[in-house]
Copies of this chain bind each other. A is one copy, B any other.
Amino acid sequence: MSEVKEKAALAAANAPQLAWLTSEQKNHALLAAADALITGTEEILKANQEDLERGRQNGTSASMLDRLALTSERIKGMAEGLRQIAGLQDPVGEVLETLDRPNGLHIIKKRVPIGVIGIIYEARPNVTVDAAGLCLKTGNAVLLRGGSAALSSNIQIAELFHAALESAGLPKDVLQLVHDSDRSSVDEMLKLNGLLDVIIPRGGSSLIQHVVQNASVPVIETGAGICHTYLDASADLEMALSIAVNAKAQRPSVCNSMETLLIHQHFAGKYMDQVGEAFKTAGVELRGCERTRQLLPEAKAVTEQDFATEYNDYILNVKIVDDLQQAMDHIAKFSTKHSECIVTENEEHSARFLNEVDAATVYHNASTRFTDGFEFGFGAEIGISTQKLHARGPMGLPALTSTKYMVKGSGQIRG
The reply on A393 being an interface residue by CB < 8 A is yes
Interface size class, chain A:
35 or more
Interface string of A183-223 (1 = CB under 8 A from B): 00000000001000110000000000000111110111100
Q: Considering the chains assembled together, what is the distance between the CA atoms of A19 and B357 in angstroms?
A: 11
Closest-by-CB residue of B relative to A256 is B414
Q: Considering the chains assembled together, what is the distance between the CA atoms of A130 and B376 in angstroms?
A: 38
Interface string of A372-415 (1 = CB under 8 A from B): 00011100000000011110110000000011111111111110
Q: Considering the chains assembled together, what is the distance between the CA atoms of A56 and B21 in angstroms?
A: 58
Contact status A99-B358, CB under 8 Å: no
Min Cβ gap A379→B in Å is 13
Chain B interface: which of A45-53, A146-154, A288-296, A359-367? A359-367
Among B197, B213, B362, B404, the residue within 8 A (CB) of A406 is B362
Chain B interface: which of A80-88, A158-166, A242-250, A297-305? A242-250
Q: Considering the chains assembled together, what is the distance between the CA atoms of A19 and B332 in angstroms?
A: 14
Min Cβ gap A58→B in Å is 32
Among B16, B216, B370, B409, the residue within 8 A (CB) of A364 is B409
Contact status A364-B408, CB under 8 Å: yes
The reply on A170 being an interface residue by CB < 8 A is no
Closest-by-CB residue of B relative to A115 is B388
Among B99, B365, B367, B392, the residue within 8 A (CB) of A403 is B392
The reply on A101 being an interface residue by CB < 8 A is yes
Residues of A whose CB lies within 8 Å of any CB of B are 16, 19-20, 99, 101, 105, 107, 114-115, 193, 197-198, 212-216, 218-221, 236, 239, 242-243, 246, 250, 332, 350, 354-356, 358-367, 369-371, 375-377, 387-390, 392-393, 402-414
